[in-house]
């Protein structure tokens, strides 16, 4: 199982990508309160540039976004970074949805909205 926190590193860098600004801010605040360095983006295209600059250990990505959706973004990140970045899908959609299901094949972990912060932090601390 791949974890968010790389071994021996206490400065876990995380990017939260969600077109729902309130959801992204809430998740970013919870991660920050738990010791992570966090940046956020509201769409997949701006996230690509942010990922190159911030070099996160983990990307939490909303699957269903307008424009560059989570599935396409996950494909691009796997092409560029292979498995060097932990990908965590976040969805309000059903696992039966083809886009959601296909995204689950590319990511290391996934959560449904609303995210259980305690479970997410267990994942972060497990590294």
Q: Residues 87-110: pLDDT tens digits?
A: 999 887 666 666 666 777 788 998
pTM over 0.75: yes
DSSP 22-75: HHHHHHHHHHHHTT-EEEEESSHHHHHHHHHHH--SEEEEESS-SSS-HHHHHH
List of domains in the chain: 13-125 (3.40.50.2300)
Q: What is the pLDDT of residue 40?
A: 96
Residue range 7-50, pLDDT digits in tens: 445 588 999 999 999 999 999 999 999 889 999 999 999 999 99
Reply yes or no on whether the pLDDT at 6 is more than 80. Answer: no
Higher pLDDT, 121 or 37: 37
Burial class (CB in 10 A: 0-12, 13-18, 19+), 90: buried
């Amino acid at each position: 199982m791949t974890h968010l926190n790389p071994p021996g590193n206490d400065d876990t860098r995380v990017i939260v990508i969600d077109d729902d600004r309130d959801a992204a801010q809430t998740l970013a605040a919870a991660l920050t309160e738990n010791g992570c360095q966090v940046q956020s983006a509201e769409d997949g295209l701006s996230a690509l540039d942010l990922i190159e600059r911030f070099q996160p250990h983990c990307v939490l990505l909303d699957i269903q976004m307008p424009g560059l959706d989570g599935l396409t973004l996950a494909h691009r990140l796997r092409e560029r970074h292979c498995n060097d970045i932990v990908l965590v899908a976040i969805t309000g959609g059903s696992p039966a949805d083809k886009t959601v299901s296909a995204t689950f094949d590319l990511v290391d972990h996934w959560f449904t909205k609303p995210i259980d912060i305690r479970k997410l932090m267990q994942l972060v601390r497990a590294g």
